A and B are shown apart, each in its own frame.
Chain A
Amino acid sequence: MTSLLEQPGYDEEKLQMVAEQLLCREDQAGLLLSLMGQPQQYCYPSIFIYGHQASGKSHVMHVMLKELELPHAIISCVECVSSSLLFELVLFSFFGSEASSLLPRSPSLSDFVRIYRQQCLQAPATQTRYIVMEKAELLRDADANLLPALLRLQELDNVSVILLSEISWDKFRPNTGCFEPLLLHFPDYSKGDLHQILSQDSHPKYSDDFYSSYINILLGVFYTVCRDLRELRHLVRHTHTHTVKETDTHKLWRNIEPHLKKAMQTVYLREVSSVQWEQMQQMEEKEAGALRGLSAHTHVELPYYSKFLLVAAYLASYNPARTDRRFFLKHHGKIKKTNFLKKNEKTSNHLLGPKPFPLDRLLAIFYSVVDSRVAPTASIFSQISSLVTLQLLTQVSHDDQLDAPKYKCAVSLDFICAISRTVNFEIVKYLYDFL
């Protein structure tokens, strides 16, 4: 195994340590190491590593840089809300707090380069410095000159930038052109790999063999739906309690199958939190049904007129405006559906999703739907905006547009049916799709 991680200039023992921690990623680590060369040698200016979630990108980089004690800065791009934060973090981890305090208030890229140069003269690099950018896809939203500059940062000093991302490089390439980084792909873990990794952190109570057979069963159930290592680990944590009772490998399967199935419905979807799941396990079967997941609570209590406003909004969103006459006018005459069917309306409006409607139409429908006379008070209007903040309606037009704002209804048919049932309003009769 160690043959892969052989590189002159590094301590043998440390390499051994690294190899132990990087299960199933030896190939990639070896390749990286050979790219990096000896500590004082120049590395390739920029390396781009991509692969799916939980394929060990960050893990490999963390372990290698830490164990081999190379100067490095690991930066998550989510955290860098502004580029100044990024510069600060880089300077701080290479040169300490004095350097980072030299940056002006809102530094530009050239400020960064200037100070970096300055510091380099004082403390020239004896080893290659590494900047690791996690979630590099967010760099695309940053200043246009940031990514190209990072890619050729080596022109300043012995420094390499390693970008980690879930997206392939093709989606990054800025249209002004840039220095091409070296691409490196991390493939997904195979089933065998997953088994090997999961068996590693075995519970101290059990023998390794027993634990590994348990993992095998678990993978058999979940591998078809989920290959994410993080998620699988989460599941292992929450189902292991059942194995406590059994020590015989053969009986194990029969015993834990129902629990695994239940876990598939709840824990995997994060319907219940891990603490609640543990409590549920302690309660045993008798009361377990009482605990409901997050999505079970969909009932929303609303004031009376808000309900009608929501119903009116739903009708306005899913009925074509031409048909309002038919639904809300008393003497509309007999208009058959076929008469006003347009070609493109033959498909169900519910399949097409909600359509925007102006405020006037909403109010017109509202007044004809509510059975009593309602004064157009300020609170009716404020209810509309509070429905928007509750995300039951969405405002389509821009916030600044005061004149004739447009909305969309953002609730499902089931939801609106439940709402209209509480106010004794048969919404299905008023929907064009169900005519």
Chain B
Amino acid sequence: MSTTSVSKGCFVFKPNAKKKRSLTAEDYFTGCSGRAENSKVRFGICQNLWDRIKSETEALQDELNRNVLDSLLDLARKCSSTHRSSDWASKMRASEIPTAALVLGVNVPDHDMTFQSLSELLQQSVTPHVASVQANECATLKHLMKKVLEKLTGAVVDEEDDDEEETEQMSAQLHRSAHCSFSTLCDWYNTKTRKSSSGTPGKKRSSPSKDEPPRPPVVIIFKDLEAFNPKVLQNFILICSLYIERLPLMFIFGIATSPSTVQHMLPHSVSSLLCIELFQSLSCTQHLATVIDKLILTPQFPFKLNAKVMQVLISIFLYHDFSVRNFIKGVQLALLEHFHSRPLSVLCCEKKEAVQNLLQLSHQDLERVRQLPSFKRYVEELDRQEQVSLSSDDGHLKDVCLKLIKKLHKYHKNYYPVLRCLHTLTCSLPRYPLGKQIRELHLICLESNVWESEDYQSALKLLKMLAKDELISLLQKCAEILQAVKSKKMKRAFVQLEELLDKFKQLDTAAETVSSVEEIVTSPVRNLQKKTDLFQLQKTLLEMNESRRSKRLSPFEVLRNEALEFIEGLVKNHLFPPESQTLYEVCYYSSSATVRRHLNATPRTSVQAALSSPYYYIQNDKLKAEDGSVSNAAPDICIAYKLHLECGRLINLYDWLEAYSTVVSAAEGKDPDSEDFGKVDEVKHARFIRAVSELEFLGFIKSTKQKTDHVARLTWGGC
């Protein structure tokens, strides 16, 4: 940069405002991969998909919580109405604070959304006065009071006029005066209600029976009851009970464990001030099942997860956190990674769009298609001429890809209904050979051909033993599933199934033949009772077995076998794993290691990896070492770490220093025979001390009082 100044000096240049454009998500997305055009399209698709997934899950969450939230709202409304009425019973209850104990399960990260929608609903339909508090911001009673007051009064000011300055003034006033008491709140509430009632004179006239202004309840939500300091909570409730006459308060306790925690936290003298009603929300496993049902097991979203990624996400859910929100976050991560790292993911969208994108693929992209393993497999099966034209003619390749993409979409359309059918048939079998939840069956199907597995065979055997009415009801459920699908094959299957069901119904009319068969079966059993010889017994049993196998099947059994064969045909035709499909890579995200690394981080393992093989992180060729040893030139902390692994539980600091200095001297290229080789000079000493303190900071060693000049290795340090 230049100046017009003649004299020498320091000049300050302010950066241009234009240049300082902050990076958007899109820039980050497209930044790394060189070709902007394609990545922009991908970003668009990805964003679009994510928005859909997000809105879908939010709607789902609202739907699932509706029951609980509605009854909570009812309680809030009731509590505002009882405060006014003056009959005998309600007069006596007035001193109790109405309280809702909302049991939400241990998946604490999910609760935020529930409380968010709860307070929104309350504000919309019952009362504008809602304050929700969290334990970590209310360590003492004073803080709790301040938070409650701020949230109640501050929020209302926001609502009334958008002037931000006034809000600040208001809150500043609140801070300045130590008026953090409930009497302030009462005054505020009274002016509030009076103002609102005088502000709407029309309404007042329409309801002449009430001359009192409406008194909406003041709702205080304790998001995480367990984490609150019991003493603080007790005092707060005591204070609130003093004001319940003047202020229609209501509490909502968010409970993560079990409702009995209320009794553990509050002594009888305090809990007797509350009128607790219990609300139980849906369990998180059910929630996950619905999310998977709506998000994963549907052809609606073209983006898919392969078996391993699904496995990782589900096991994080089941083993670690029970959090649906984290599950969805995992899906989001996979989505982003997929669209970010794979250029061919442009094709992962709705059919029409995919076709369009396909036509615009560049030569480079088509080369990528040719490199796909599934496509290679496909090509190998074709004849010579076709192979040549596919590898040289881009136009032809596009045509073929078009067909393949359409086929992939069709596959998805048929896969899910058949999966649901198979699940309805097998989910109630004893010992659940194919899993209780549909996600388990989905995982099996994603991994391999389901009909080849042993579990499938045993499930089929069990199905063959089903009684008539059970089988019919199951088949009817399947028919319902198939009916809803708009695909030719499924429609045909539906017609076939209907025919089968009709045949079952006709059986009832021709039931007489069954009895004759039974007679034949029972006759050898009758013979059996006479015989006592072991050999004879064995013989007759074998005979019985033979006869049973060879015996003429009853019409019901014939029909049952027919039905099951039909089902098996469906399974074999539609439930093969996605890996068998050509171009499946376009839609399926398969890098489970990435997902695991991001979501289920192992800090200690990576620290150890960094210390024992610094080459991974520093990428300096000098540091490469073959047999797991650390090169001399590695950073000091790596050398110190390596040396400390060779020691026992207690490490002599001086020995350690000596060893360190020998290694470092070798790295400096000094002659091993010279006198000052391995001698500790000040610099080395300082470097060593720093390395040791770094190790201590990382938690590998700690100072000990057992022995002077020693440090102790911690149990989980190395090995």
Contact = CB atoms under 8 A, between A and B. Distances in A.
Contacts of A31: none
B702 interface: yes
B260 A294 contact: yes
Contacts of A101: 177
Contacts of B141: 81
B427 interface: no
B182 to A, nearest CB: 7
A293 to B, nearest CB: 9
B271 interface: yes
Contact of A391 (B108, B261, B604): B261
A102 B316 CA distance: 60
B102 to A, nearest CB: 12
A124 to B, nearest CB: 27
Given A300-B258, A386-B108, A274 B142 contact: no
Interface string B77-104: 0000000000011001100101101010
Contact of B263 (A294, A302, A386): A294
Interface in A180-238: 203-204, 230-231, 233-234, 237
Contacts of B142: 81-82
Interface string B483-499: 00000000000000000
B283 interface: yes
Nearest to B143: A81
Interface stretch (B319-327, B328-336, B542-550): B319-327
A389 B224 contact: yes
Contacts of B716: 360, 363, 376
Interface string A358-374: 00100110000000000
Interface stretch (A144-152, A157-165, A303-311, A326-334): A303-311
Interface stretch (B161-169, B235-243, B291-299, B683-691): B235-243
A137 interface: no
A390 B272 contact: no
Contact of A234 (B272, B277, B318): B272
A379 interface: yes
Given A81-B180, A274-B275, A278-B89, A53 B269 contact: yes
A392 B105 CA distance: 14
B101 A294 contact: yes
Chain B interface: which size bin? 35 or more
Nearest to A279: B277
Interface string B167-178: 000000000111
B656 to A, nearest CB: 21
Contacts of B5: none
Contacts of B271: 270
Interface stretch (B27-35, B559-567, B595-603): B595-603
B181 A85 contact: yes
A398 interface: no
A256 to B, nearest CB: 17
Contact of A297 (B224, B227, B277, B278): B278
A403 B268 contact: no
A121 interface: no
B106 A300 contact: yes
B256 interface: yes
Contact of B277 (A84, A231, A275, A301): A275
B276 A294 contact: yes
A237 B95 CA distance: 12
A116 to B, nearest CB: 17
A237 B319 contact: no
B714 interface: yes
Given A82-B142, A85-B180, A273 B263 contact: no
A275 to B, nearest CB: 6
A251 interface: no
Given A274-B93, A376-B716, A391 B101 contact: no
A299 B257 CA distance: 8
Contact of B238 (A78, A270, A278, A304): A78
Interface in B102-125: 103, 105-106, 108
A352 B242 CA distance: 40
Nearest to A363: B716
Nearest to A231: B272
B371 interface: no
Contacts of B262: 294
B513 interface: no
A254 B497 CA distance: 64
> Top 7 A-B pairs ranked by shortest CB distance?
A379-B320, A273-B275, A237-B92, A304-B319, A81-B142, A378-B601, A295-B260
28 contacts: A79-B182, A81-B180, A88-B181, A105-B178, A106-B178, A230-B272, A237-B89, A273-B274, A274-B93, A275-B98, A294-B259, A294-B278, A295-B259, A295-B260, A297-B258, A298-B258, A299-B258, A300-B106, A303-B322, A304-B319, A306-B320, A360-B715, A360-B716, A364-B715, A375-B602, A378-B600, A379-B320, A380-B320
Given A78-B242, A84-B178, A294-B262, 18 more contacts: A79-B242, A230-B272, A233-B92, A234-B272, A237-B89, A275-B98, A297-B259, A297-B260, A298-B258, A299-B258, A300-B257, A301-B322, A303-B319, A364-B715, A375-B600, A379-B321, A390-B257, A391-B264
